Amino acid sequence: MLDTHLHLDDPKLADDVDKIIAECEQKGIEFVINNSCDLPTMLAGVKLAERFEIVFATVGMHPHDSKSFDDAFAAKMTELASHPKVVAVGEIGLDYHYDISDRATQRDVFAAQIELADSYGLPLQLHIRDAYGDAWDILRAQKKYLNNGVLWHCYGGSAEFARQAVKEGHYFAFGGAITFKNAHKEEVLRQIPIDRVLSETDSPYMAPVPLRGSINTPLNIPIIVKKLAEIYQIDCPAMETQIRDNTLRYFGKIAEYLNN
Ligand SMILES: [Zn+2]
């Protein structure tokens, strides 16, 4: 089983990371992807990837932190992007729910990071909240840079946007939110072919039902796989295999790393 989006460097998990990784290995969690949000988390993610065989990392700046994006950060992204265990640019995007960085800055930094990702040959991991229209406009404007894949992390948009994104070849990662009571999510998932779906926890956030509100860890990934299996009406092992195929197809550097 795989967790394509989490934050092991988060203070809620950092002290227990050895224990969590050991348990993941025991329970058959094959690998996890630690997501970068700013300079400290980007550096911490690469360190974790060097320390633990099952950890991969991303480079990039979260929309909340867009206001601190500068040339020095971009240079550091570029330096780390060629690391064999850095597999994507993320989490990048727009967050109009909290508006921690102003919206114009978020849009500029999102567009800039899409171009950088293309120059590295890496796929994207998007964080979009309450900003699907603007995100869509930026993706359309930056279309020539979208050569390595677009993945919507914790997709919360409409069924209609999902349909459009499927047509463009995008992927979708789902976590705890699909276990919350919300019929709308299942309607969205019906738009998404099974070969575009990935599993994630977003640990330490978004713990799934029945653990909602607790500190989430990658050990909860079986709950997500089970829920996806229910939605797609196949058994858990088949869902697991499908997710693994999708993940290795999307994150080419992981497939390459595992083959070496
Ligand atoms: Zn995240």
How many angstroms does the Cα of residue 92 sit away from the middle of ligand 1?
10
Residue 140: other Cβ atoms inside 10 A: 10
How many angstroms does the Cα of residue 14 sit away from the middle of ligand 1?
15
* Strand partners for 247: none
Residues 6+ apart with CB under 8 A from 139: 114, 146, 150, 168
Q: Give mean pLDDT, residues 51-76.
A: 97
Q: Give mean pLDDT, residues 131-136.
A: 96
pLDDT tens digits along 1-60 = 999 999 999 999 999 999 999 999 999 999 999 999 999 999 999 999 999 999 999 999
Give the orientation angle of helix 132-141 with respect to helix 103-120, to 10 degrees: 40
Q: Shortest CA distance to 227 belongs to which of 189, 171, 170, 193?
A: 189
245, two tokens: 């195929």
CATH topology of domain 2-259: TIM Barrel (3.20.20)
**What separation in angstroms does the CA of 23 have from each of 17, 26, 79, 104, 243?**
10, 5, 32, 43, 21
pLDDT tens digits along 151-161 = 999 998 999 99
8 Å CB contact between 128 and 93? yes
Residues written for the chain: 260
Q: Is 75 a residue whose pLDDT tops 90?
A: yes
* 176 phi and psi angles, rounded to 5 deg: -50, -35
How many angstroms does the Cα of residue 259 sit away from the middle of ligand 1?
27
Residue 96, SS3? Answer: coil
Q: Domain boundaries in the chain?
A: 2-259
Residue 29: Cβ-neighbour burial (10 angstroms; 0-12, 13-18, 19+): buried
Q: Shortest CA distance to 2 belongs to which of 155, 177, 201, 229?
A: 201
* Strand partners for 77: none
How many angstroms does the Cα of residue 200 sit away from the middle of ligand 1?
9
d(CA 71, CA 79): 12
d(CA 97, CA 111): 19
Q: Is 182 a residue whose pLDDT tops 80?
A: no
How many angstroms does the Cα of residue 6 sit away from the middle of ligand 1?
6
How many angstroms does the Cα of residue 34 sit away from the middle of ligand 1?
9
Q: Is 186 a residue whose pLDDT tops 90?
A: no
d(CA 87, CA 209): 29
Residue 191, SS3? Answer: coil
How many angstroms does the Cα of residue 7 sit away from the middle of ligand 1?
6
Give the confidence band of 183 by pLDDT, cuts at 50, 70, 90: low
pLDDT value at residue 203: 97
pLDDT value at residue 180: 86
Give the neighbor-by-neighbor strand order of the sheet with 86-95: 2-6, 31-34, 55-59, 86-95, 124-129, 150-153, 171-174, 197-199
Give the confidence band of 185 by pLDDT, cuts at 50, 70, 90: confident
Could you tell me which residue, 185 or 205, shows the higher pLDDT? 205
pLDDT value at residue 118: 98
How many angstroms does the Cα of residue 219 sit away from the middle of ligand 1?
16
How many angstroms does the Cα of residue 201 sit away from the middle of ligand 1?
9
Q: Give mean pLDDT, residues 122-132.
A: 97
Q: Is 184 a residue whose pLDDT tops 80?
A: no
Q: Give mean pLDDT, residues 188-206.
A: 95
Q: Give mean pLDDT, residues 116-124.
A: 98
Residue 255: other Cβ atoms inside 10 A: 14
How many angstroms does the Cα of residue 91 sit away from the middle of ligand 1?
7
Q: Give mean pLDDT, residues 243-248.
A: 98
71, two tokens: 């040339």
pLDDT tens digits along 87-103 = 999 999 999 999 999 99
Work out the mean pLDDT of the chain and round it to a whole number: 96
Q: Distance of alpha carbon 164 from its chain centroid, rounded?
A: 20
